[in-house]
Amino acid sequence: MEFIFDALVVGSGLAGLRAALEIPENLKVGLISKVFPTRSHSGAAQGGIGAALGNEEPDSWEWHMYDTVKGGDYLTDQDAAETLAMDAARAVYELEHMGVPFNRTPEGKIAQRAFGGHTRNFGEGPVKRSCFAADRTGRVVLDTMFGKAVERKIHIFTEFYMLDVIIDHGKVAGIISYELATGHLHTIWSKAVLIATGGFGRVYKTNSNCFTNTGDGVYLCYRNGVPLEDMEFVQFHPTGIYPLGVLVSEAARGEGGVLKNGIGRRFMPDYAPTLVDLAPRDVVSRAISTEIRAGRGVDGKDYVNLDLTHLGADKIEEKLSDISSFARIYLGVDATSEPIPVTPTCHYMMGGIPTDLNGRVLNVNGSPISGLYSAGEAACVSVHGANRLGTNSLLDLVVFGRRAGRAMTEDIKSLGAPTPVKDSQGRVEARIKAIKDGKGPKPADLRTKMKQIMTDFCSVFRNQADMERGLREIRGLKEQYRSVSIDNKGENYNTDLLDAIELESLLGLAEVILVSALSRTESRGAHYREDYPDRDDHNWLKHTLVMAGSHDPEVSFKPVKITRFQPKARKF
């Protein structure tokens, strides 16, 4: 079948939903998601959304902006950080008015708690800035916003997979989608298309992401000639439950939890004397990995302890109940009386599809691609620079999702009807046939190898020799992938086929991460090179762009936007 829309939103996480809700009802809006909308990863967000409301202690948006820039190791585009911090309070009150049940202070205001890298008065000490609903903030925000989308009668395609973006003569015409239930392909023509398909933490073995975070939208844009920005910046969250990687939110440390090594000693004061356990994630993850490498993991193993026992059962039950139940369910650990074993886990992608402040996707020369938009974790505005602060992603989704919805509404007036492209489904049909006819390796085997390679050669610590080996091995897997095979050749609910298709995205993005990381010969934020341990502003205060070349990916650079805060040494 074919559909025609004014605006099509791909992805029903918070970025996609917020954008869709911004587009007026007189325009025809479609929303597609490969899972039921409320199963999007946004629903897993635990700790909260940042805004300098000042409800618990004095705060200001300028401090929030400063923290975002410094937290991002000065790679953050400062116009984006200013937009984010200035708009935060409005965005949180908007959620409150939609009906999000935030925790409250005794006098009834939105309650706030401390989070990594968020400080008072330009770095003096932690400040309570995260607005939260216990430790299931994403769940309640997603459910609330999905309700609004249903109320608005937005046309939602559930369990439809985007398998290609149609970009013709530099202009978007729509997408090709695959209906999981039937195996049918549908072309969805649209004047404007927003890519809000989220991140791709599934590239790594230990990660906190849901199974759907395979970066399809990011990869499809890349394959269709869109550059990808700052892909070397992969965030490892310090506290994934060992050995699974399931997240224990920073809220646990925001509420007073502390990290201890194998000899029972608090080690964060050695690494970050002012913010200690609440230093930004890159700093804490490196500290944990350094302790483990020095043999100070617990029982000589690859983990340290997160101790919440002194918080008391009541506080844990009231504010960290999901987290404590994860510890109980996955490990049989009772967080009120025993520490939780934790280790860094791949969590968030700072890089992605380059956009301007209004979600318009930019080509390699910095000009917008007509009709193409992106928001959320798939996009790189770049508001998180080299390392995102906790609570700033939920904020990014609602601030920049809304702006993208506005820009689409504005641009649609002059975009004109999409021009159908002949044989638009041909490439996708050929791909599906090739996978069904394949005689080579199974997707699961290649995927397991890919995750191990990325974990071994391009994680918290990196160096040239390891990454070169990683790149060779990933390219070897890409070669093997050409003959990938599946057992299920059927039409209905063929998740085998989609696993194989998602693997192409993951392998393509793994290659881009390695190429970007090899090119950046300095250490900045989440990208730490053992062979280049210092930040090098003279040569590297710039964003990386990677384009799909005729053979290998091609690397170029673009300047960082610096407005208020000149780069300084980053101490916490």
Ligand X SMILES: Cc1cc2nc3c(=O)[nH]c(=O)nc-3n(C[C@H](O)[C@H](O)[C@H](O)COP(=O)(O)OP(=O)(O)OC[C@H]3O[C@@H](n4cnc5c(N)ncnc54)[C@H](O)[C@@H]3O)c2cc1C
Q: Please identify, using beta-carbon distances, which residue of 380 and 471 lies nearer to ligand X.
A: 380
**Annotation marks residue 281 as catalytic:** yes
Smallest separation (angstroms) from ligand X to the CB of 250 = 8
Among 78, 370, 382, 393, binds ligand X (CB under 6 A): 393
Q: How far apart are CA 316 and CA 54, in angstroms?
A: 24
**Under the criterion CB under 6 A, does residue 443 sit at the interface with ligand X?**
no
User: Does residue 54 sit in helix, strand or coil?
Assistant: coil
Smallest separation (angstroms) from ligand X to the CB of 9 = 9
User: Does residue 266 sit in helix, strand or coil?
Assistant: strand
CB 61 within 8 A of CB 52: yes
Among 391, 424, 425, 544, binds ligand X (CB under 6 A): 391
* Beta pairing class for 461-462 and 528-529: parallel
**Under the criterion CB under 6 A, does residue 355 sit at the interface with ligand X?**
no
Among 55, 76, 197, 409, binds ligand X (CB under 6 A): 197
Map 433-486 to HEC letters: HHHHHCCCCCHHHHHHHHHHHHHHHCCCEECHHHHHHHHHHHHHHHHHHCCCCC
Q: Please name every residue paired with 260 in a beta bridge, in sequence order, or none if there are none.
A: 266, 305
Residues 6+ apart with CB under 8 A from 334: 324, 327, 328
Smallest separation (angstroms) from ligand X to the CB of 124 = 23
| Closest residue to ligand X: CB criterion | 13
Smallest separation (angstroms) from ligand X to the CB of 517 = 20
Smallest separation (angstroms) from ligand X to the CB of 88 = 11
- Residues between 144 and 173 with contacts to ligand X, criterion CB under 6 A: 161-162
Draw the binding track, 201-240, toward ligand X (x: CB under 6 A; -: no contact). Answer: -------xx--xx--xx-----------------------
Q: What angle do CA 213, 147, 23 make, to 5 degrees?
A: 80
Q: Please identify, using beta-carbon distances, which residue of 10 and 21 lies nearer to ligand X.
A: 10
Q: Please identify, using beta-carbon distances, which residue of 10 and 467 lies nearer to ligand X.
A: 10
Q: Which of 505, 446, 405, 525 is nearest to 71 (CA)?
A: 525
Within the chain, what is the greatest distance between any pair of CA atoms? Answer: 67
Residues 6+ apart with CB under 8 A from 502: 214, 216
Which one of 279-287, 384-392, 410-418, 461-469 is the stretch in contact with ligand X (CB under 6 A)? 384-392
Q: Is 107 exposed, middle or buried (0-12, 13-18, 19+ CB in 10 A)?
A: exposed
**Under the criterion CB under 6 A, does residue 394 sit at the interface with ligand X?**
yes
Alpha-carbon Rg for the chain, nearest whole angstrom, is 22
Q: Is 295 exposed, middle or buried (0-12, 13-18, 19+ CB in 10 A)?
A: exposed
Preceding peptide of 238 cis, ω within 30°: no
Which one of 295-303, 391-399, 446-454, 535-543 is the stretch in contact with ligand X (CB under 6 A)? 391-399
Smallest separation (angstroms) from ligand X to the CB of 509 = 12
| Residue from 113, 281, 535, 570 carrying the catalytic annotation | 281
- CA distance to 178, 339, 346, 520, 528, per residue, from 515 (Å): 31, 39, 18, 9, 15
Residues 6+ apart with CB under 8 A from 329: none
Q: Please identify, using beta-carbon distances, which residue of 33 and 523 lies nearer to ligand X.
A: 33
Among 372, 397, 486, 512, binds ligand X (CB under 6 A): 397
Among 196, 361, 362, 500, binds ligand X (CB under 6 A): 196
Smallest separation (angstroms) from ligand X to the CB of 456 = 22
Draw the binding track, 14-43, toward ligand X (x: CB under 6 A; -: no contact). Answer: xxx---------------xxxx-x--xxx-
Among 72, 117, 198, 240, binds ligand X (CB under 6 A): 198
DSSP state of 302: S
**Under the criterion CB under 6 A, does residue 344 sit at the interface with ligand X?**
no
Q: How far is CA 532 from the centre of its chain?
A: 26
**Under the criterion CB under 6 A, does residue 46 sit at the interface with ligand X?**
yes
Beta strands in 339-431 (DSSP E): 340-349, 353-354, 360-362, 368-374, 379-380
- Residues between 359 and 378 with contacts to ligand X, criterion CB under 6 A: 376-378
Among 5, 6, 8, 11, binds ligand X (CB under 6 A): 11
Active site residues: 281
Which spans of this chain sit near ligand X (rule: CB under 6 A)?
10-16, 32-35, 37, 40-42, 44-49, 137-138, 161-162, 196-199, 208-209, 212-213, 216-217, 247, 249, 348, 376-378, 390-394, 397
